[in-house]
Amino acid sequence: MKEKVKKAIIPAAGLGTRFLPATKALAKEMLPIVDTPTIQYIIQEAVDSGIEEILIITNSNKHAMENHFDRSYELEARLSESGKMEQVKMIQDIADMANIYYIRQKEPKGLGHAVLCAKSFIGDEPFAVLLGDDVVVNDAKPALKQLIDAYVYKEASVVGVQTVEHSEVDKYGIVSPSKSYQRECGGRLVKLNDMVEKPNVDEAPSDMAVLGRYVLTPKIFELLENQEKGAGGEIQLTDAIKRLMDIQAVYAYDFEGIRYDVGDKFGFIKATIDFALNRDDLKDEVQKYIESIVKGGK
Q: pLDDT tens, 147-172?
A: 999 999 999 999 999 998 998 898 88
Amino acid at 258: I
Interior angle at CA 135, CA 131 and CA 159, nearest 5: 50
Measured between alpha carbons, how far is 47 from 144 in angstroms, rounded to an integer?
A: 10
Worst-scoring range by mean pLDDT, 91-105, 139-153, 279-293?
91-105
Q: What pLDDT was estimated at residue 15?
A: 78
Backbone angles phi, psi at 211, to 5 degrees: -130, 60
**Every domain of the chain and the residues it spans:** 7-263, 265-298
Q: Within 13 Å of residue 265, how many CA atoms lie on the same side as its CB? A: 7
Beta strands in 32-95 (DSSP E): 32-33, 36-37, 53-58
Which of 31-40, 63-72, 86-95 has the highest average model confidence (pLDDT)?
31-40
Distances (CA, A) of 8 to 28, 116, 212, 218, 287: 20, 13, 13, 12, 37
Band of the pLDDT at 2, cuts 50, 70, 90?
Answer: low
Helix and strand numbers, DSSP H then E, in the chain: 11, 13
Report the relative pairing of strands 208-216 and 127-130 from DSSP bridges.
antiparallel
Which of 30-39, 55-64, 100-109, 225-234 has the highest average model confidence (pLDDT)?
30-39
Band of the pLDDT at 297, cuts 50, 70, 90?
Answer: low
- pLDDT at residue 108 is higher than 80: no
* Summary mean pLDDT of the chain: 90
- pLDDT at residue 60 is higher than 80: no
- In this prediction, residues 22-47 reach a mean pLDDT of 92
Q: What pLDDT was estimated at residue 265?
A: 93
Percentage of the chain lying above the pLDDT 90 cut: 58
Per-residue pLDDT tens for 215-266? 999 999 999 998 887 777 888 898 999 999 999 999 999 999 999 999 899 9
Band of the pLDDT at 1, cuts 50, 70, 90?
Answer: very low
Percentage of the chain lying above the pLDDT 70 cut: 99
- pLDDT at residue 88 is higher than 60: yes
Who wins on pLDDT, 98 or 42?
Answer: 42
CATH superfamily of 7-263: Spore Coat Polysaccharide Biosynthesis Protein SpsA; Chain A (3.90.550.10)
Distances (CA, A) of 283 to 268, 276, 278, 288: 18, 6, 6, 8
